[in-house]
Amino acid sequence: MAPGFSFYRLFEKDIDRWAGSGKEELSCGGMPFRIEKRVGFPVDVSAAVVSAAGMDRFYFQDRLCRYEIGAVGRIRAYGENGPETAPISAVEDLWKADPRIVLFGGMGFHEGRPPQEWRAFGAIRFVLPLIEIRKDEKGACAILNACSGESESRQTAADNIGRQLRAIDLTGEVKTGVHQIPFFSESLVPGRQQWHEIVTEALVWLRENGARKVVLGRKKILESLGDPWAPAVLFHRLRAVRENSFLFFCGTENGDAFFGRSPERLFKLENSLLASDAIAGTRPRHEHPEHDSRLAAELMASAKDMEEHRFVVDYIRERLSRMCRHVSVLPSPAPLRLSRLQHIITRITGVVKKGSGPMDILHTLHPTPAVGGMPPEAAKALIRRLEPFDRGWFGAPVGWMSKDAAEFAVGIRSALIRKHALHLFGGAGIVTRSDAEMEWQETGYKMECFARILKM
């Protein structure tokens, strides 16, 4: 935040008033009471959030850097198959108490109990944080979610909140400057030969079943030979990469972290307007402008890549039509240029019908053919059968939501840190025209974009 800043001092008087008040409007039977304050000095939201080790942390910056939002601590968690979580259905009760309340988190690509390396994240997990920080062109504000348990006195809850705020102030002083990247060993899952076998089997499946596309992923595991990987250090290196993409970080209190720079928006909900992006097709960037333009033209003229892209556009249009009025597709796709890669993008919008909230939209849209395939359920089943690892939150939604507003990115160009293991992910769309070696190269480009931060 700023030298000498203290969340505890910012909210100390408000907590005392909340603890001493018996007014019914300040209590919702165990439901949180929001205390919001403007912060009148420069705020480094990501540093305040990511450096708060030993507690739940979340950070999200939109693709055009118009706003950033962060969260620290945990009042309550909602989800499935995760530690200490309330049922996800209870979120609606929370929003009945206060529709402004914001939850942070995401969900796994597949349903069911996640593998060991993703266990702290759960199949679905959304956190109501103790502290929320927002920053946009109007400035910055901090929000405290004060809450007492059903059988807990208000004063006891206030004392506990004070202790947590002082802990955040202490851990927030951790510096994330220059740190040595440890020596590491490297392994690929699957290896090159197995990848060729998997893609060949997928091509047979596509032809025999009349299916149109399946997205297959692989990962690179970098095992530290010294100290554990430091999520804050790698995240701030990733943040230094300037490009038109979402920046996200999701950390758990045990130190595990999932973070990345995703070009792909699953959806944005604001004032009943729902927007989603169809992204598919990949080419590398080139430092020479003329060569770079040739690669973009090659991408836009590729029958294989345009076929992939059309599947995603058609899927999102059909899914939005279930929830929206006035669905609109931009008339022509365009190249989306990132720092190292470029893709084809088409934007799709609609006006949400009454009764469709963020959770409904999540389950209706995920997974798009950009990360799953067509037809969706058959492609998901094939992915689970062929891929020699469980994706966890890779390729799945990660973001924030209130009752009437939300934004979620697709968790690609991402990494998972679990102690000494750094998992890097990459995926490629397989259609009947695909070549296994070219798809190996494409997934390699995507993982290399992340791996470059280790060389910074």
Sign, CA dihedral 434-435-440-441, equals negative
Task: Say whether 446 is catalytic.
Answer: no
12, 122 Cβ separation under 8 angstroms: no
198, 386 Cβ separation under 8 angstroms: yes
392, 260 Cβ separation under 8 angstroms: no
Angular region, 191: left φ>0, alpha ψ -120 to 50, beta rest: beta
Residue 357, φ and ψ in degrees, nearest 5: -105, 180
- 114 CB neighbour count, 10 Å cutoff: 24
Alpha carbon distance 60, 409 (integer Å) = 9
Which of 56, 87, 51 has the alpha carbon at shortest distance from 231? 51
Q: Is 41 helix (H, G, I), strand (E, B) or coil?
A: coil
Which residues partner with 365 through β-bridges? none
Alpha carbon distance 15, 95 (integer Å) = 22
Which of 271, 379, 278, 264 has the alpha carbon at shortest distance from 319? 278
Alpha carbon distance 74, 79 (integer Å) = 13
DSSP string, 173-187: T------PPPPEEEE
Residue 318 makes CB contacts below 8 A (sequence gap 6+) with: none
65, 136 Cβ separation under 8 angstroms: no
The active-site residue out of 135, 213, 219, 403 is 213
The active-site residue out of 68, 264, 387, 442 is 264
414, 229 Cβ separation under 8 angstroms: no
Alpha carbon distance 300, 127 (integer Å) = 40
Task: Say whether 80 is catalytic.
Answer: no
Active site residues: 213, 264
